[in-house]
Amino acid sequence: MTHKSLFDSCTLGALTLSNRIVMAPLTRNRAGQGLVPTDLTATYYAQRASAGLIITEATQISAQAQGYQDTPGLHTQQQIDGWRKVTEAVHAQGGRIFVQLWHVGRISHVDLQPDGAAPVAPSAIRAETKTFVNNGFADVSEPRALQLDELPGIVNDFRQAAANAIEAGFDGVEIHGANGYLLEQFIKDGANHRTDAYGGSIENRARLLLEVTAAVVQQIGADRTGVRISPVSPANGIACSDPQPQYDYIAEQLSALGVVYLHVVEGATGGPRDVAPFDYGALRSRFKQTYLANNGYDLGLATASLNDGKADLFAFGRPFIGNPDLVGRLKAGAPLAALNPATLYGGGAEGYIDYPTLAEASTS
């Protein structure tokens, strides 16, 4: 049997990726005035363009969709223009880049919402979690339940943000249906107590994610559309009583829509992989396109999973922060640099674009 390597090139839809290592979305809270990506943002992503694919930090589709301080948007012309500098910088380095589109739903604070309004959610259930606002962490605000006639507008916001992404030069988009944000709030019955067409059954709870995905596919094409899910992650105070049948159904429906990849957080986001029982093999068997595995992967586990046919691409998150040349370090078997936790969220160049490559570190 031929041994497969993470460092071999591969295809993703119409794209050729230089390797199977993906830079996972990482919130850094460094958007400028108007929530526009800055020149620092362009430098940051260009430094990491050796990843086979970069998926950007989560990027809000509307003003209502924001849940954290200083996260970038993709719903104004200034934001589109700012992101274009990023995509041009990454492409100049030979990289590929998707933008992750999100609506945070109830994971927000009134100080971040237009006119100080309450955040929105499938049901008026407050999450037991905090958000980053006013330069610190605070409890999220009490949400209000979305009305039925508001949902087409949210679908359209995702569609328009996808169109904006292509205008900004992205190779594609990832729809954020994970980690306790709006689309997952509809999916998981711990946050969704609705009794209309968007609540109750497995099919109803998946409806908004699938409508959003269908709208984005229609706008920009299935080969430029990925979706992220986290079947059993408790991130942001979310819970689901029936994750296996719920997500098996979602995988089947997303496969039928032809989306180019399914990005799966296996286990608890940033935590244990075995947080709850779940058969990821069954999920993978229902999705016929590229399976992107995430959570706790190192070179050894990823290589073994690739050769066992468990996944096609592998997302690495925080290691990319302190190691802009992560792919090269992994290939060389070099030690990885640690990140500075004090500079993860907010700030400027420090802890953002000043991490040296292995070559730079050896000459300093």
Per the annotation, the verdict on 181 as an active-site residue is: yes
First to last CA, the chain: 43
Closest CA to 27 of 187, 226, 179: 179
Cα–Cα dist 113/132, whole Å? 13
Max CA-CA distance within the chain? 63
Other residues' Cβ atoms within 10 Å of the Cβ of residue 64: 23
For residue 139, give the 3-state DSSP assignment: strand
Whether the CB-CB separation of 227 and 260 falls below 8 Å is answered with no
Cα–Cα dist 318/324, whole Å? 11
Q: Which of 68, 181, 280, 345 is catalytic?
A: 181
For residue 349, give the 3-state DSSP assignment: coil
The single-letter code of the amino acid at 343 is: T
Residue with tokens 């992220």: 228
Please write down the HEC assignment for all residues of 233-255: CCHHHCCCCCHHHHHHHHHHHHH
Tokens of 14: 């119409």
- Detail the DSSP E strand segments found in 239-348: 261-265, 290-294, 313-316
| Enzyme catalytic residues | 181
